[in-house]
Every structure is written in C-alpha cells, then in structure tokens.
Amino acid sequence: MDIEQFYSADERRRQSAEVELGTNWFDANGSRYELSWVEDTGELYAMLELVPEADSWTPFGDIEVEAVSVDSVLVQVICTIPTLEEVERILSGWSEHMSDPNGVAWVADRLRANGIEGASPPPS
C-alpha cells in the first residue's frame, strides 16, 4: 500500500508517535527501506521509496527530487509488537546491522527468533 493508504486505513497511525529504527535498511537487491514502529497501534512497518526520476544532481552526486508522489512511497506492516520496550529488546543491536547488504533479513530473523510468525523481509 502507499503511504497515504497506510495512514488512512487507521487514523491512529496518523496521530501516533512513531519511533524510527533506521532509514538505511537494504534488501538483497539493494533496495533501501526505513523501519519504524507506531506507538498507538504497535505496528512495526517498513517503508520503501521507489527510486524517483532525478530532477537534478547536487555537486556531490546526490539526486535531488522536487516532489515525491504519495504512490511512490510503499509501506508494509511487518508485525505488531505491543510496547517499545519489547521492540528494543527484540531488535537490540539493530544499528549495527542496518546497513548490512541484506539487513532486512536480519530484522526478519530476529522477529522469528522471538516467536513473531510471518515475519519476512519486505518484498522489493
């Protein structure tokens, strides 16, 4: 689902505090994800921004994009974890694994190791 569909499907998401668990998670294909947890729903979700067309390049080689359309930001709810303390326990050490070549698989492995079924890396 796109980011607007995600928030519209449950208004608690829009009003809730969120805890960001890194913005540079990668899958085996090199796609980049952001990982966040929504306090009011307990949802752990991954967000993928589809690679946009570059409007321009910075002097440092970075892509500049003037506007990112809502439908180019995809969200997948991975699981529900009721408390932040539990998220922190389950994903302890996440910052050391975030930029691994397939760091999202590390997240899935940690979730499964803690009895959270159906945890799989986001599809790319």
pLDDT tens digit string along 102-118?
Answer: 999 999 999 999 999 76
Q: Name the more confident of 123 and 82.
A: 82
In the chain, % of residues over pLDDT 70:
77
pLDDT of residue 54: 44
Pairing of strands 56-57, 25-26: unpaired
Rounded CA gap, 92 and 104, in Å? 14
| Average pLDDT, rounded, for the chain | 83
7 CB-side CA count, 13 A: 11
Rounded CA gap, 3 and 31, in Å? 17
pLDDT tens digit string along 28-82?
Answer: 888 889 999 999 999 999 998 776 544 444 455 554 445 545 566 889 999 999 9
In 10 A of CB 51, how many CB atoms? 11
